[in-house]
Amino acid sequence: MRAHLGDHLVIESPATGTTQRDGEIVGLHHDDGTPPYDVRWSDTGEVTLVFPGPDAHVHHGEHESAGSPRPAHPVSDAASPTGVPNPGDIGRRVAAERERQGLSRAEVARRAVMAPEYLAYLEEHPAEPSMATLIRLSDALGTSVEALCGGGLDLPPGQGHALLNPRLRDLDPDECRTLLSTHGVGRIAVSTPDGPAVIPVNYEVVDDAITYRTMPGSVPALAVGTEVAFEVDHLDEAMSRGWSVLVVGPAHVVADPDAVRELAEHAHTDPWAGGTREEWVSIRPRRITGRRIEPAAR
């Protein structure tokens, strides 16, 4: 099979011969026009890497009589001009599990009965492999399709395998402030009449202070007038790594009307919990620390 840019790849039902799917070939990976191809599917508009099977054929365009295929021009090059891999979640999980088991791409590709080049593409680019591909990959890696697709989102994070050679590194205050960024979701730890409580809140970083909206009399409002702990973290389940930042300091109500109006006008998001939350609480960091888990240097 050979193709030019602009040709159409047509996949037919082996039983009826009717077209099941078709798309424009927008990227070639070999100068001679042989597979694989980057195909923009007509039904979804998405571009995927395709290794055509026996149920596929190429419908040539006006350049059919040309003496040779046009030069290769993979869309992946255009999408990543720096050449730095930009994998999707499935690809990252596949790569992480393969590396955890110490397997080469060639070995996993052999087990999964696929081209090593296709496995490399999956690991380095956002892609939506077919169910058949996912089944073969999960069998090759001794895992499940659900795990490769990120199943178990309602379960507590951190159930993945630990790194083979992890390193726990302390973060300096500047790194911590960068990770806190300007807004997100964090957890406030307060004392209540029923004991300690940890509550998630949407927060903003304003002039180095953590601020969040709440309702008077609510649990997060109990922070006012006390010294509290505020924590933000991020876990990368696919790569078994992550970081956490802890801020400790006194909390007070933002009482100045102009400051309250400024906070409300420039807030990045409404509280996810909904409802009327007009009391702004500010935590001025007295201590800020953080840690990161990452692979040890080799």
CATH classification of the domain holding 104: 1.10.260.40
Residue 164 lies in a domain: no
Mean pLDDT across the stretch 274-278?
81
CATH of the domain at 260: 2.30.110.10
User: Distance between alpha carbon 104 and the CA centroid of its chain, in Å?
Assistant: 23
Asked if residue 234 and residue 287 are part of one domain, the reply reads yes
- Considering its fold, how many domains does the chain have in total? 3
Check whether residue 175 and residue 144 sit in a common domain: no
In which region does residue 23 sit, left (phi positive, over 0), alpha (psi from -120 to 50) or beta (all else)?
beta
Stronger pLDDT, 43 or 81, i.e. the higher one:
43
Output 220 or 160, whichever has higher pLDDT: 220
> Which domain-ending residue is among 45, 79, 113?
79
The closest of 27, 46, 22 to 37, measured between CA atoms, is: 27
Confidence label for 287 from pLDDT (cuts 50, 70 and 90): very high
What average pLDDT does the structure give for the chain?
81
Q: What is the DSSP letter of 160?
A: S
**Burial label, 183 (beta-carbon count in 10 A; 0-12, 13-18, 19+):** middle
Predicted local distance difference test score (pLDDT) of residue 84: 47
**In degrees rounded to 5, what are phi and psi of residue 120?**
-60, -40
Do 236 and 184 share a structural domain?
A: yes
For the ranges 135-139, 170-174, 267-271, 276-280, the maximum mean pLDDT occurs at: 170-174
Same domain? For 176 and 119 the reply is: no
DSSP, res 197: E
Is the domain of 277 the same as that of 221? yes
* Closest C-alpha among 69, 52, 65 to residue 12: 52
SS3 86: coil
Report which of residues 197 and 15 the model is more confident about. 197
Q: Summarize pLDDT for 247-259 with one digit per residue, the tens.
A: 999 999 998 899 9
Same domain? 73 vs 96: no
Would strands 19-28 and 37-41 be described as parallel, antiparallel, or unpaired?
Answer: antiparallel
Is the pLDDT confidence value at 61 over 60?
no
Please state whether beta strands 166-171 and 56-59 pair in parallel, antiparallel, or not at all (unpaired).
unpaired
132 and 241 together in one domain? no
Check: CB of residue 74 under 8 Å from CB of residue 38.
yes
Where does a domain end: 79, 107, 131?
Answer: 79
Q: Label residue 238 by pLDDT band (50, 70, 90).
A: low
In this structure, the answer to whether residues 230 and 281 fall within a common structural domain is yes
Place of tokens 């659900």: 146
pLDDT at 171 over 80: yes
Domain that holds residue 49: 8-79
Q: Of 60, 79, 98, which residue sits at a domain end?
A: 79
Asked if 28 and 46 sit in the same domain, the reply is yes
How many whole angstroms separate alpha carbon 36 and alpha carbon 2? Answer: 10
Q: What is the pLDDT of residue 265?
A: 84
